[in-house]
Amino acid sequence: MFMRNGWVPDAPFSLHGTNIPECSSYVYLGREINMVNDLAPELGRRKRAAWGAYKSIEDVVKKTKNTRLRAHLFNTTVLPALTCASETWALRKQDENAVSVIERSIERLMLGMTRLTQVRAGIRSSTLRQQSRIRGAAVYAKLSKIRWARHVMSFKRPPLDESRHRLDSAERKARDRKTTDPMVRLLHEVP
């Protein structure tokens, strides 16, 4: 299968006489890739993964009343499933809202509340967040993006031409001595 962008003509693609089928999106390294760079299908996949992760801890969450343990379970199972590969997301406000809606629905279920009872009781989502003590998914996604950028920036890249950067010990010593006095600089030059 292959995927084409807008710059490629709409013509059949064949390899050794075999027609290769075209696709509009594919999953690569755990993320759904498409040519229009639409995050909605990926958020749908993340939503299913988050609910699957919650179903795996649902019995424990229902049995325990310890808020810290519930928050820890959410932060270590559901949140990574919801924000997997978020380092590469270009989050718009509507995408942040979609992630928050998914998170809030699971959060309400953890607290044993429905959306209807929340509205009838006049409880704000921020109040539920304080009660549940879970981390915000949109903030977590932004921080993971920053963490990833910091990680990439820390790579040590080899020089383009190592021969230019090799200095013998005398040149290195002369380079390390930083002075502005021209007479002192002449004393330290290598003959």
Q: pTM (2 decimals)? A: 0.70
Pick the more confident residue, 121 or 172. Answer: 121
State percent of the chain over pLDDT 70: 82
Which residues have CB under 8 Å from 86's CB, separation 6+?
Answer: 140, 141, 144, 145
Domain boundaries of the chain, sorted by first residue: 1-37, 39-153, 162-191
In this structure, are residues 40 and 32 in contact, taking their beta carbons and an 8 Å threshold? no
Say how far residue 14 (Cα) sits from the centre of its chain: 36
In this structure, are residues 115 and 81 in contact, taking their beta carbons and an 8 Å threshold? no
Triad 124, 146, 24: Cα angle to 5°: 85
- Quick one: pLDDT band at residue 77, thresholds 50, 70, 90? very high
Which residues have CB under 8 Å from 88's CB, separation 6+?
Answer: 31
For 160, the 3-state DSSP assignment is coil
For 17, the 3-state DSSP assignment is coil
pLDDT on residue 5? 76
Say how far residue 134 (Cα) sits from the centre of its chain: 18
The Cβ-side half-sphere exposure at 142, using a 13 Å CA radius, reads 11
In this structure, are residues 61 and 68 in contact, taking their beta carbons and an 8 Å threshold? no
Which residues have CB under 8 Å from 69's CB, separation 6+?
Answer: none
Which residues have CB under 8 Å from 102's CB, separation 6+?
Answer: 43, 46, 47, 50, 82, 137
In this structure, are residues 84 and 46 in contact, taking their beta carbons and an 8 Å threshold? yes
In this structure, are residues 95 and 43 in contact, taking their beta carbons and an 8 Å threshold? yes
pLDDT digits (tens, 9 = 90+) for 142-171: 999 898 888 888 777 665 555 555 555 666
